[in-house]
Structure 1
Amino acid sequence: MIDRLDYLTELGVNAIYFTPVFEATTNHKYDTSDYFRVDPHFGTNETLKTLVRECHARGIRVLLDAVFNHSGRQFAPFVDVIEKGEESLYKDWFHVRKWPLRIEDGVPTYETFAFEPIMPKLNTSNPEVRDYLLKVASYWMDEIGIDGWRLDVANEVDHQFWREFRQTVKKANPDAYILGEIMHDAMPWLQGDQFDAVMNYPFTNTVIDFSLRGKSTAPASQRRSARCSPVTRPR
């Protein structure tokens, strides 16, 4: 990426959103093992810091992906719970339905993301979990200099956590951008106390249905407006 930033600048790119870069066991990296370390497949924390600095020199802002709804199976607190069970200091960091942690008839005895055993759901109502994740948010902004966050499956995390998250992020950088992934109507998250914007999937699906699949049509008034609207060409 660092070697190709000039090419991106030529294309007019002014922001880069990275899918997860933290250490994880999968290719997609949505099963975080270490929230404070860049996955060795991508480089190091210092490499990312250099990338952010070079991006800023070209007027490019950088967003990282915050996977705070769930961790990975190799996340140290979850490993501790697997090993020590109810005696673990981290037992309340997760949503355990039944001890011990195991898979019964293909279903984990603990809550996960999308029924995936390697992605245990974090208990963000636990003050210790909230404090930990907020420190993660602060670290990458203060130490690495990123410009904002894209929040994975944000609708599955409680609103109060996101309110505290916003306060933390805006304290680190008032101009930071907070983008939530919401699969449906997002108004509860856009009241000024949580996100700046969302990934607008309903609009995306509507455009695809109209332009590619022919499943929907524009109202007649809009079609007339589109035909009559002048087209401004770049000079």
Structure 2
Amino acid sequence: MSEPTTSPLNVDTPIQPDFSNRNDRELAPVLDVREQDWRCAPLVYHVYLDRFVPPKNLNDKISQGLYDSPRTLRKWTEYPTSKPVHDADGMRMHQHDFWGGDLQSLRTKLDYIQSLGTDILYLNPIFSAATNHKYDASDYFTISPEYGSREDLSQLINDIHNHNMKIMLDGVFNHMGFNSPYFKDAIENPNSEFRDWYLIDDKYEHGFRCWYNAKNLPELNLENPELRQLLWEDESSVVQSYIRDGIDGWRLDVAYDLGFNYIDEIREAARRANPQSCIVGEFWNYPSQWTDVQDGVMNFHARHIMFYLLQNRITGQQAARFLNQMYADIGMHAALRSWLILDNHDTARLRHDFPHEAKRQLAQIMQFTLPGAVCLYYGTELGMTGGGDPACRAPMRWDLLSDSNPIYDFTKQLIDLRQSRRALRVGEINFLDTERALAFRRYTDRIEEETFIFINPTSETITELVPHRSPKIAANIQLKDLLTGQRHQTHVGFIDIKLPPYSAAILTPDYPSPNTYNSLKRVH
């Protein structure tokens, strides 16, 4: 018998054989590319700036008239309420309610944001605008004064990058605000140089085309090439100038209104400013084809599949089929760059939609284990609640930040779990054949990273015999539940799983003791 091969650098250390198979070797470089791409599977923390951190210089801002009528400055402890009354410009009066948060106050909480494992900080619009939501820009090139200045933004960008995070801004390029000086001039002066920025015609109810017929949001005439130059084509355009100033990308508001071709133009323009920039669009559509013209989408389709499952409108088997088809249609690369959302500024908060704690936890488990970027809306990690706009935009409840807060503790547990398991971030996915549970396998080129997720969305205990689809796991291998520590035996490619009502299991191979038989000894 020949002697074992040894390393030329150390004759006492045998070279470890490589047991990776052909599939492992083909998948490994794909995973490496995903891991090196900051746009793949990040954790995105979403902040509504006015409501995130109370400023220290509030009295100075008041003395500058930044909250003069029709605006109202609210106490941080006040809760936003809807006001059906509209002002003369068509804005509902609660859109004039402010709480005072700004760019400088946000900088004081970057350590907290980083502690959540955040990769990208995403801000709602910060352009100069009349309302608190800023989707009615009056001037794209200036920051709304109550938020700060371009210099304040520059300081924030530097601080974020020093925290090893990225920053993305909200780009609202389908419409502007009724109070914009450009629109005012266009609507009042038939010879205005800005007239062709808009679609002004008596055939429209308000005399001009507006988004969702909201008078305060006149739509832009993007078919005007000069306007496109201003918004994204020129080096000094809105899209490119902010990127050249250091932001890392744009989230495109109502991207479905922009259309495929203009989104593609925006992406190419952003790439000219920074080849590594990111464009993610807001879509309440089926995501296929849209992912061909941008890095990813805000995946509301996936959100609704998860919610329909928890609302018992579909079974686990249907959810698996729907998700599998979606991922097949958009491809894994686009899926990993798309943001998985449970709540945001346009929806009721998660705790409002699912006051039942176990159902809410199932929603979070799916968000953190399905392929995609986790988009965490500020305060959801603390258990903030609230219905639709404006209740979902309440000031941040810093009083809830405590290690004894069970919602915060559970969210941190999921964050840590996802950070520690490469398969949950950039791995492939197989959906498993079930009847009532939702089950899927996330895997890489390494057996120890395989992760199996089972979701029971029903009020009954479920017992299912499920093929696990992992070719490397032999009959004697047990799977350990990372949530409970419970062990499950595998046999001939099956898992016999029992799930209590509204529960989940996250399973991974439990390696045998070094001194016992190990069927995994020659698999990678």
Q: Under a length normalisation based on structure 2, what TM-score does the superposition of the two structures give?
A: 0.41
The residue that corresponds to 2:174 in the other structure is 69
For the residues of structure 2 that align with 1:224 and 1:55, how far apart are their CA atoms?
38
AA partner of residue 206 (structure 1): I
Shift of 1:45: 1.0
Q: For 1:43, what is the secondary structure of its paired residue?
A: coil
Unaligned runs of 5+ in 1: none
172, 186, 206: which one pairs with 2:305? 206
Residue 61 of structure 1: CA displacement? 0.5
Measured against aligned partners, the alpha-carbon deviations of 1:47-66 in whole angstroms (never above 9, x if no partner) come to 11111111101111000000
Cα gap change, 1:90 to 1:224, in 2 (>3 Å): closer
2:118 partner SS? coil
Aligned-partner residue type, residue 201 of structure 2 = R
CA contact (8 A) 1:24 1:30 kept: yes
Equivalent residue pairs, number? 224
Judge which range, 148-157 or 72-81, deviates more.
Answer: 72-81
The residue aligned with 2:275 is: 174
Residue 231 of structure 1, CA deviation? 5.1
Measure the CA separation in 1 of the matches of 2:157 and 2:209: 35
CA displacement, residues 46-86 of structure 1 (integer Å, 9 cap, x when unaligned)? 111111111101111000000000011122321111220x2
Distance 1:65 1:202, change over 3 A: same
CA contact (8 A) 1:125 1:161 kept: no
Deviations 1:177-216 (A, max 9, x none): 110011111323222xx210001111101111212x2221
Distance, in Å, in 2 between the alignment partners of 1:224 and 1:40 is 48
Q: Which amino acid aligns with 1:141?
A: I
Match for residue 193 of structure 2 among 75, 85, 89: 89
Indicate which of 193, 196, 221 corresponds to 2:295: 196
Among 207, 211, 235, which residue is 1:113 paired with?
211
Matched, 1:15 2:113: no
Q: Indicate if the aligned counterparts of 2:187 and 2:200 stay in contact, CA closer than 8 A.
A: no
Distance (whole Å) between structure 2 residues aligned to residue 164 and residue 28 of structure 1: 26
Please identify runs of 4+ aligned residues in structure 1 that moved more than 6 A. Answer: none
**Contact map agreement 1:68 1:152 (CA 8 A) in 2:** yes
Whether the aligned pair in 1 keeps the contact of 2:160 and 2:167 (CA below 8 Å) is yes
- For residue 139 of structure 1, what is the aligned residue in structure 2? 241
Structure 2 SS opposite 1:87 = coil
Q: Does 1:31 align with 2:133?
A: no
State the secondary structure of the residue aligned to 2:209: coil
Q: 1:233 corresponds to which residue? A: 482
Q: In 1, are the aligned partners of 2:176 and 2:219 still within 8 Å (CA)?
A: yes
Q: Match for 1:39: what amino acid?
A: S
Give the 3 Å change call, closer, same or farther, for CA 83–231 of structure 1 in structure 2.
farther
Q: What CA distance in whole angstroms lies between the structure 1 residues aligned with 2:438 and 2:218?
A: 51
Secondary structure at 1:158's aligned position in 2? helix
* Aligned-residue offset at 1:9: 1.5
Unaligned runs of 5+ in 2: 1-105, 319-432, 440-453, 455-463, 469-478, 484-524
| Mapped partners of 2:308, 2:137: distance in 1 | 34
Among 137, 150, 153, the alignment partner of 1:48 is 153
> What amino acid is aligned across from residue 276 of structure 2 in structure 1?
D
Residue identity over aligned pairs, in percent, reads 32
Residues 231 and 148 (structure 1 numbering): CA distance in 2 closer, same or farther, change over 3 Å? farther
Give the helix-richer structure, 1 or 2: 1
Equivalent residue number for residue 226 of structure 2:
128
Give 1:139 deviation, angstroms: 1.1
Q: Secondary structure at the match of 1:118?
A: coil
Contact 1:23/1:35 (8 A) holds in 2:
yes
What residue in structure 2 maps to residue 98 of structure 1? 202
Specify the code of the residue in structure 1 equivalent to 2:300. Answer: Y
Inter-partner Cα distance in structure 2 for 1:178 and 1:232 = 37
Query: TM-score by structure 1 length?
Result: 0.88
Q: Distance in 2 between matches of 1:68 and 1:169?
A: 14
Amino acid at match of 1:127: P
CA distance in 1, matches of 2:438, 2:151: 55
| Closer, same or farther: CA 120–140 of 1 in aligned 2, 3 Å | same
Q: Are 1:165 and 2:414 counterparts?
A: no
Q: C-alpha separation between the residues in 1 aligned to 2:244 and 2:294? A: 20
The CA deviation at 1:28 is 0.9
Q: Distance in 2 between matches of 1:207 and 1:170?
A: 33
Check whether the contact 2:187–2:195 (CA below 8 A) recurs between aligned residues.
no
One-letter code aligned to 1:87: N
Deviation at 1:25, TM superposition (A): 0.4
Query: How many Å apart are 1:232 and its aligned residue?
Result: 5.9
Deviations 1:7-35 (A, max 9, x none): 21222112111010111101111000110
CA distance in structure 1 between the partners assigned to 2:210 and 2:480 by the alignment: 50
Q: Which deviates the most, 133-142 or 158-167?
A: 158-167
